[in-house]
Amino acid sequence: MTMKLYGFWRSLASYRVRAALRFKGIAAEEIPIDLMKGAQLADDYKAVNPQSVIPSLIVDDGAPLVQSMAILEYLEEMRPQPPLLPKDARGRARVRGLALIVACDAHPLIVPRIRNYLEREMHLDEPARNRWLQHWTLQALETLEAHLAKEPETGRFCHGDAPTMADICLSGQVFAAGYFNVPTTTVPTVARIFAECMKIEAFDRSQPLKQPDAPKNPAH
């Protein structure tokens, strides 16, 4: 059966899954869940994903798969070629570490539910909320830069000359920088690797603004 991906054009976690699916040549139908309209909170979507977040991936008649990095690991196990992880254990640990700087530590701080909480419960005005978003987005980029600029494993991509999960996460974080007007001039290695990532058709075609549900002039 064709997989079904519940996602949304601007969702960075959806981008991660979309890029991995395309990279591995796995067909999936994307069902948009409009985060701007709060569609993730509707009961029918809650029945798919009780956390009210995207992505969710339907792969069979069983429960949907949730959490983008768990889904990437699943895809890697089910369709090992082309790989998104290096062959050696140490290399895999490095790639997962870089990926999780984004997926585990940085991205959760900028998602709609956090932004809404800062606005509605903490009563932070828009400039203060923007400072929050810019601060955590830049901090993740600078952390990646500190690793990538000095570690000898860095190549054309985050780890050697083939793309991995770390590159999918890095490119998503650069999209976040675009959303929140964070300049990437202080992170030249990240910017260089992002440019390499966008030469990969599967990544480029998966990027937020190239999705059919993306608006022409998005307001973030």
Residue 56 lies near ligand GSH (rule: CB under 6 A): no
Q: Which of 3, 20, 54, 176 touches ligand GSH (CB under 6 A)?
A: 54
Dihedral sign of CA atoms 214, 7, 27, 74 in order: positive
Cβ 149 to ligand GSH shortest distance, Å: 26
Q: Which of 5-13, 78-86, 148-156, 186-194 is the region at the interface with ligand GSH (rule: CB under 6 A)?
A: 5-13
Strands 28-32 vs 3-7: parallel, antiparallel or unpaired: parallel
Amino acid code (one letter) for 163: P
Question: Among candidates 71, 26, 20, which has minimal Cα distance to 200?
Answer: 20
Q: Which of 40, 143, 154, 189 touches ligand GSH (CB under 6 A)?
A: 40
Residue 13 lies near ligand GSH (rule: CB under 6 A): yes
CA dist 126 → 15, 57, 81, 122, 217 (Å)? 26, 33, 45, 12, 20
Give the nearer residue to ligand GSH in terms of CB position, either 84 or 189: 84
Q: Which of 50-58, 81-89, 93-101, 151-159 is the region at the interface with ligand GSH (rule: CB under 6 A)?
A: 50-58
Tell me how many residues contact ligand GSH (CB under 6 A). Answer: 15
Computed on alpha carbons and rounded to an integer, the radius of gyration of the chain in Å comes to 17
The residue written with tokens 């998503």 in the block is 172
Q: Are 41 and 67 in contact (CB under 8 A)?
A: no
Integer Cα distance of 4 and 7 in angstroms: 9
Integer Cα distance of 140 and 107 in angstroms: 9
Residue 113 lies near ligand GSH (rule: CB under 6 A): yes
**How many Cα atoms sit within 13 Å of 127 on the Cβ side?**
0
Which residues, numbered 62-81, are part of the site for ligand GSH (CB under 6 A)? 67-69
Q: Which of 7-15, 75-83, 158-166, 182-190 is the region at the interface with ligand GSH (rule: CB under 6 A)?
A: 7-15
Question: Among candidates 205, 219, 16, which has minimal Cα distance to 99?
Answer: 16
Q: Which of 21-29, 47-55, 143-151, 192-200 is the region at the interface with ligand GSH (rule: CB under 6 A)?
A: 47-55
Residue 112 lies near ligand GSH (rule: CB under 6 A): yes
Q: Which of 35, 57, 59, 85 touches ligand GSH (CB under 6 A)?
A: 35
Sites of contact with ligand GSH (CB under 6 A)? 11-13, 35, 40, 53-55, 67-69, 103, 111-113
